[in-house]
Structure 1
Amino acid sequence: MSELRVGAHTSIAGGVSNAVDEQLEYGGNCGQIFTHSPQVWDHGTIDDEEADAFRAESDANDVGPWMIHASYLVNLCTPKEDLRAKSVDSMQQELAAAAELGIPYVNVHLGAHTGAGVEGGLANAGDALDELDVPDGVTITIESDAGSGTKLGGQFEHLAGVQAETDHDLAFCVDTAHVWAAGYDISTPEGVADTFAEFDDVVGLDQLVYVHLNDSKHGCGTNKDEHAHVGEGEIGVGGMRAFIDRSVEEGLPMALETPTENGKSFAWNIERVHELHEGE
């Protein structure tokens, strides 16, 4: 049985190495960061000293693997040339930051095709990805999506489709709240097993490297993306426990993006993950 690796999305406010301290406070041993505000294009810079401290503290405390989440503004599927250019530039900066920080994954949503159609959107994404220079030791990770509107990534076929459109070897991150919203019923152990089997058949489990572990406030197939505390949403205890156990079995690290509400924060959710995995 592989070790349970679970952590939270932590802040780099005051310096990127502070994310490690925050992760330890939550009780996490892996996790995710933004390198800048996800609502703007401006990346700023990461101080070399801070990057060294981040790597040293992560290694010393056995915190990892980390993942960088790309800006919410990035849209790989867009048919608009200006947005595509900004998206490619932003992704290139994220890849450089990952190499500097010793982070193996840069995670990104495919985005919306906005009228180009599924095939056109996936082709656009492949072309955008092929413009990127990916540093050694860093992998682009495509995240599954809730599938609302013209956003792609809600179906596993979209993930396999973008891999076929690019020369890069991609990896993938499954978000439990997103796959649930997209119509994959993971509320039972049987549903979790079926979902993993379908992912393996369509994409390949060897390409699944990370999990965003979130319960959902909305029903299966609603395409509504609103996260809930682990085991307290519509997926529920049975499904979340089964997904956690299978993720551990597959050696997949899990990053929480759960809310801070009702007196419960990341620390509560990390403890809850351990409890569910231990059968409590």
Structure 2
Amino acid sequence: MRVGAHVSISKGSHPNDDEKPPYGDLRNAVHRQVTFGGNCGQIFTHSPQVWQDPGIDSDEAEKFRSASAERLDGPWVIHSSYLVNLCTPKDGLREKSLDSMQKEIDAASQLGIEYVNVHLGAHTGAGVDRGLDNAISVLDDLSIPEAVTVLIESDAGSGTKLGGDFEHLATVVEGSEQDLDVCVDTAHAFAAGYDLSTAAAVDSVVAEFDDIVGLEHLKCIHLNDSKHACGTNKDEHAHIGEGHIGVEGMRRIVSHPALEDVPLVLETPTEDGRGFAWNIARVRELAAE
């Protein structure tokens, strides 16, 4: 089973850490993943709240690649900056988003990371069709090496944000000249109206995704429970099995035969004395039941 967490690359301590990590480079992400009990995972290459070059030197990249190959099963995923908006009708923001995505893709290639994950963003009044066309245009302008794949992440669907409907994901994957795939966030999908709270509901959503997008395009699952009810468009993650998706839904997701080869990456909270280690262990427990 490939399960891990979105971990920090920082040199200092992190809310999920018991102690300061031992390295002064990106190997801290590997160290944290192993400490939490994960064997794959996700990182930001820099603060997601700013436009920034990842700035990774060749020595640091080699150490990260070696440590990952030695201690983890993989894959790793880079999550793009929260500022990226592929759907924007604004030329300036489009160019910044394109530049940021290209830098993340280049960093992934340098680090030997297979996936770069991105939200479609918001059309901000341009309309759904125009917004999706804008996203396809940005993605088509990227230079993506063969060893890297861009994943379009499902969204909770609030406001003018796109990606909450599986049809949005399918339109972009099918319409782009790039070989794109998809990451489904369980909390986002639930917030967008896809019920995952029972075994039967999970089976129905998996079948619907396969019919609309195709399970062959599902390369990662962000496994998160939800603090809010289905269809509320509220994106707030809960501990595995302790939100509105609950134990039955989570158990079915982690044991569904069509999903067994899909890596699970947790973005669960650190609260109530529990963090990534507790949630990863919980996933393994549910899968074994």
TM-score range, shorter chain: over 0.9
What's the offset of the Cα at 1:17? 1.4
The 3-state SS of whatever aligns with 1:173 is: strand
Shift of residue 62 of structure 1? 2.7
Q: Which residue of 2 aligns with 1:150?
A: 160
What CA distance in whole angstroms lies between the structure 1 residues aligned with 2:174 and 2:280?
36
CA RMSD of aligned residues (A): 1.0
Contact kept, 8 Å, 2:239 with 2:269, in 1: the verdict is yes
Q: Which residue of 2 aligns with 1:184?
A: 194
Q: Is the 8 A contact 2:254 2:260 kept in 1?
A: no
Report the CA distance shift for 1:134/1:247 in structure 2 as closer, same or farther (over 3 A): farther
Q: Which stretch shows the higher mean deviation, 10-19 or 106-115?
A: 10-19
Letter in 1 for 2:147: G
Distance 2:226 2:98 in 1: 31
1:207 is the counterpart of 2:217: yes
Counterpart CA distance in 2 for 1:28 and 1:247 is 21
Give the aligned partner of residue 5 of structure 1. 2
Q: Distance in 1 between matches of 2:257 and 2:192?
A: 19
Return 5+ residue gaps in structure 1 as ranges. none
1:230 aligns to 2:240 (yes or no): yes
The worse-fitting range, judged by mean Cα deviation, of 246-255 and 69-78 is 246-255
**Equivalent in the alignment of 1:69:** 79
CA distance in 2, matches of 1:5, 1:247: 14
Shift of 1:56: 0.5
Distance 1:250 1:198 in 2: 17
**Count of aligned pairs between the two proteins:** 276
SS of the residue corresponding to residue 256 of structure 2 reads helix
- 1:32 counterpart SS class: strand
Aligned residue in 2 for 1:219: 229
SS at match of 1:273: helix
Deviations 1:193-237 (A, max 9, x none): 110100000000000000000000000000000000000001000
- How far is 1:49 from its partner? 1.2
| Structure-2 separation of matches of 1:189 and 1:196 | 11
Corresponding position of 1:278: 288
Aligned to 1:26: 36
C-alpha distance 70-46 of structure 1, shift in aligned 2 (>3 A)? same
**Aligned residue for 1:122?**
132
Residue 77 (structure 2) pairs with residue 80 (structure 1)? no
Match of 2:117 in 1: 107
Task: Give the aligned residue type for 2:10.
Answer: A
Contact 2:192–2:233 (8 Å) recurs in 1: yes
Q: Distance in 1 between matches of 2:248 and 2:52?
A: 42
TM-score, length of structure 2 as denominator length: 0.94
Q: Deviations over 1:64-108 (max 9, x none)?
A: 100000000000000000000000000000000000000010000
Q: Separation in 2 of the partners of 1:248 and 1:120?
A: 33
Partner Cα separation in structure 2 for residue 248 and residue 206 of structure 1:
10
Give secondary structure in 2 for the equivalent of 1:114.
coil
**Residues 54 and 104, structure 2, Cα contact 8 Å, conserved in 1:** no
SS at structure 2 position matched to 1:224 = coil
Given the two structures, how large is their TM-score scaled by the length of structure 1? 0.97
Relative distance call for 1:57 and 1:86 in structure 2 (3 A) is same
Deviation at 1:248, TM superposition (A): 7.4
**2:85·2:120 contact (CA, 8 Å) conserved in 1?**
yes
CA distance in 2, matches of 1:120, 1:112: 11
Give the letter for the 1:155 counterpart. Answer: D
- Poorly superposed stretches of 4+, deviation over 3 Å: 247-250
**2:146 maps to what in 1?**
136
1:122, 1:165 within 8 Å by CA — same for their partners in 2? no
Structure-2 separation of matches of 1:276 and 1:250:
13
Distance 2:210 2:54 in 1: 39
